[in-house]
Amino acid sequence: MTALLTDLNPEQLEAVTWSHQSALVLAGAGSGKTRVLTTRIAYLLQSGRTRPQNILAVTFTNKAAREMVARIGAMLPVNTRAMWVGTFHGLCHRVLRAHHEDAGLPQAFQILDMADQLAVIKRVLKERSLDEKMLPPRQLQWFINNAKEEGLRASQVDVHGGFNQTLAECYQAYETVSMREGTVDFAELLLRCYELLSRNEILRDHYRSRFEHILVDEFQDTNRLQYKWIKLLAGPGSQQHAAIFAVGDDDQSIYAFRGAHVGNMRDLEKDFSVPKIIRLEQNYRSHGNILDAANALIEHNKGRLGKNLWTAAGKGEPVRVYHAATDMDETSFIIDEIKALHADGLALSDIALLYRSNAQSRVLEHGLFNASVSYRVYGGMRFFDRQEVKHALAYLRLIALPDDDNALLRIINFPPRGIGARTLEQLQDQAAMLGTSLWQAAFKVYEGGKAVATRNSQPGRGIAGFVSLVLSMQQDGEGMPLPEIIRRVIDQSGLAAHYQAEREGGERLENLKELINAATSFVHESEDDSLTAFLAHASLEGGEHQAEGYQDAVQLMTVHAAKGLEFHSVFISGLEEGLFPHENSRNEPDGLEEERRLMYVAMTRARQRLYLSYAESRMLHGQVRVNIPSRFVDEIPQDLLKRLRSDFSGKSFRQGVSGTGQTVASTINSSQKGRSTMAAVAGMTSSGLNSAGFHVGQQVSHAKFGTGIILNYEGSGTDMRIQVNFHQAGTKWLSLAYAKLEPL
């Protein structure tokens, strides 16, 4: 017993040895939560207070469940298989398999994953003759799962006619199909199990008498139905009731978009008459300045249970805040710091780059690739490998080279336009018989007049409608700037509307907008700004340059993906109003507090070094936008910060521009506007440029782009690049060694 409790701090010891009462353990980041949970189970077993078969432990991932069992097995020579340890879905599945008849399920019922569920929903819509454009399948999927997570059947959904009535009727039809085919989706597992235990007193009492201790990890992430399920099993106030041991942190509740209800922690305290909240506040991960900054930030949230993290590791280094002129400047700073840290002996894998939105990774990936710094996108795909980006690129490839069969196959029926597998098979047979590409075979169908589609109408359905759409895009794009071509393709193809209808399509839409940004940057940086050149660039950027799993590499990830991880050094980029906190938070109840919790999670990933950065101007939606720093930076005491800035005036983009998110992209069309843009580089030294025979503000001529004005420069010697605002071609970055500029 003594060995089991060795090295526990007083609060951890109190939690582990808690009496047979329900407990709420408020475990701060890096406070040893997992150790406390597993040691609690081992203590209960070793002290003889319970047996393995009387323990139910709930986690949120199968990985966490396996790790918990392995740790307990290493601590004690007990039969861990007798314990019930698993996820909510896994445990409910176990109950339903054992009692399938009582649950109204066939013995061999099958579980639908999200893709399978979506396929069933599409069948329901087709059977009811409902257009997927009017009722997107993913929207109906979200409606059904959300209702189930609230504990509501189709007959219980509150509708007031109109569209909601249609959704409820489709939900009812979906339930009918599921019952007929003997299938259950993920949300159904929990709801069906809850209903079974609610109405079957014998079964409910059986499980209540069996489970004496119910332990729940990451309790702040539970939704309403999960809490009701736990409460039903525990039976507070009944003769046979279990002791709940809930471990969580309300300050790390960041999954409201998945249904997580942070109020469950307050409900637990009341419903189970928890006599005391045990607070684990000693942090074993981060240095003091990082924790003090995180504590100060999260104090701005209201209604917290309250805790204050501290460490015995000392204050450490201040939190570094970098004030960048542009997003490219921000990226350059981050890469320079990474190189310096690596040169000092820090492994790249112990460095993390965090961002609020997946779309932000593109600029960072581009910079790391060009700097030959190995990186890996954690828990996600590289920018150019993401589904929505590859769809958009496929449309662009088809416009540039219609005979690209791979591109055509990818998007001929995406978004759906009524081209089924049989129709596509016939098209492939026709192409093979004629010895042509699929496009040429499709064009013959179009010319044959098998469908009517005009250029000015909505894209038609079927093969002829698809051909008409591509032809329209080709014609519309002639003579247009590259970013505008991409913007129109995203809109005309239906991709934007398709993802707009998805529950979690916002992130995909942001990635599509970032593709426009990528094109805008490409136009500014490349002498060949054609669509073909951009597609080649995208292929090269999306090539196999991401580090393999065994290689040392910088970790790139969203803040959501970073939860539960830790790194020596952490960079949090894009700390600007509208980006972090995200602009959507303004329209959601408690949205800003959720964003602040997300920032708290991001900051507490760092052990020794924390970098915060923001840019005065950032490319958004194909335009340069002026930003103001995130309020989160200002909420941190100044004495904890070490402010860094690039060598620009700090007043640059504010001159003549007021308010958040003001566009300065209009400064690229005339010489007068070019002069106003020069204010953005005020205070920069131009000695290196002068030595090359040029200076900021000088008029120059280029053989292809015509005349323009030098706005900026970077680098030196043969690596020097200069930024020129051309009167006709817009702003471009050119290599001085190859540009062949002529002074005027």
Question: Residue 542: what pLDDT?
Answer: 60
Instruction: Provide the mean pLDDT of the chain.
Output: 84
Give the three-state DSSP class for 277.
strand
Between β-strands 623-626 and 606-620, what pairing exists: parallel, antiparallel or unpaired? Answer: antiparallel
The residue written with tokens 């249904």 in the block is 259
DSSP output for 540-577: HHTSTTSPPTTS--EEEEEHHHHTT--EEEEEE---BT
- Nearest residue to 28 (alpha-carbon basis) of 590, 600, 592: 600
The mean pLDDT of 175-183, rounded to a whole number, is 90
How do residues 470-502 score in pLDDT, each as one tens digit?
998 988 888 888 888 999 999 999 899 888 877
Is residue 574 classed exposed, middle or buried when 0-12, 13-18 and 19+ CB atoms within 10 A define those classes? Answer: buried
pTM of the model: 0.74
Q: How confident is the model over 255-279, as a mean pLDDT?
A: 90
User: Which residue in the block uniquely carries the two structure tokens 């993290």?
Assistant: 309
Residue type, 550: Y
Q: Which residue has the tokens 């002639």?
A: 478
- For residue 407, what are its two tokens? 């591109």
**Between residues 696 and 124, the one the model is more confident about:** 124
pLDDT tens readout for residues 625-683: 788 999 999 999 999 999 997 665 443 333 333 334 443 333 333 333 333 333 333 33
Lowest mean pLDDT among 220-224, 488-492, 684-688: 684-688
Q: What's the token pair of residue 516?
A: 């426009």
pLDDT digits (tens, 9 = 90+) for 269-282: 999 999 999 999 99
Mean local confidence (pLDDT), 498-519: 84
Looking up tokens 């910079």 gives: 367
Tokens of 385: 């490998």
Indicate if the pLDDT at residue 168 is higher than 60. yes
547 φψ region: left (φ > 0), alpha (ψ -120 to 50), beta (else)? beta
The span from the CA of 185 to the CA of 164, in Å, is 22
CA atoms within 13 A on the CB side of 715: 12
Question: Which whole-number Å values give the CA distances from 519 to 286, 399, 528, 663, 711, in the listed order?
Answer: 40, 16, 12, 18, 20
Share of the chain above pLDDT 90, in %: 46
- pLDDT per residue as tens digits for the range 584-631: 888 888 899 999 999 999 999 999 999 999 998 887 766 677 889 999
> pLDDT band at 191, cuts 50/70/90?
very high
Question: What is the predicted pLDDT for the residue at 540?
Answer: 67
More confident residue, 734 or 27: 27
Distance CA 73, CA 59 (A): 17
Question: Considering only CA atoms, which of 288, 471, 508 is closest in space to residue 383?
Answer: 508
Query: What sign does the dihedral 318-323-327-329 (CA atoms) show?
Result: negative
Question: Of 517, 514, 573, 518, nearest to 541 (Cα)?
Answer: 518
Q: For 279-327, what is each residue's pLDDT tens digit?
A: 999 999 999 999 999 999 999 999 899 899 999 999 999 999 999 988 9
Q: How confident is the model at residue 13 (pLDDT cuts 50, 70, 90)?
A: very high
CB distance 616 to 324 below 8 Å: yes
Residue 217 in this model has a pLDDT that exceeds 80: yes
Q: In sequence order, which residues have a C-beta less than 8 Å from that of residue 569 and are 6 or more positions away?
A: 341, 346, 350, 351, 352, 606, 607, 608, 609, 610, 611
How far is residue 403's CA from residue 177's CA, in Å, rounded to a whole number? Answer: 42
What does the alpha-carbon distance between residue 226 and residue 209 come to, in Å, rounded to a whole number? 20
555 vs 743, which has greater pLDDT?
A: 555
Give the C-alpha separation, 66 to 64, whole Å.
5
Q: Please calculate the CA angle 377-380-384 and round it to the nearest 5 degrees.
A: 80
Nearest to 251 by CA among 570, 30, 3: 30
With contact defined as beta carbons under 8 Å apart, do 118 and 138 qualify?
Answer: yes
DSSP-based helix, strand, coil % in the chain, nearest 5: 50, 15, 35
Q: Is the Cβ–Cβ distance between 433 and 468 less than 8 Å? A: no
Quote the CA–CA distance of 181 and 198 in Å, as a whole number: 24
Of 185-199, 235-249, 537-551, where does the model show the most confidence?
Answer: 185-199
* 735, β-bridge pairs: 721
Give the pLDDT score at 634: 95
Catalytic residue ranges: 33-34, 217-218, 252, 605
In the prediction, which pLDDT does 458 show?
43
Q: Per-residue confidence at 31, pLDDT binned at 50, 70, 90?
A: very high
Q: What does the alpha-carbon distance between residue 92 and residue 102 come to, in Å, rounded to a whole number? A: 14
Q: What does the block give as tokens for 14? A: 């109190």
pLDDT one-digit tens code per residue, 428-482: 888 888 888 899 888 888 877 644 443 433 446 788 889 989 998 988 888 888 8
pLDDT given at position 570: 98
What does the block give as tokens for 241? 């009731």
| pLDDT score for 618 | 86
6-20, 140-154, 527-541, 668-682: which range is least confident on average? 668-682
CA dihedral over 53, 59, 61, 65, signed as positive or negative: negative
Most confident of 105-114, 434-443, 565-574, 723-732: 565-574
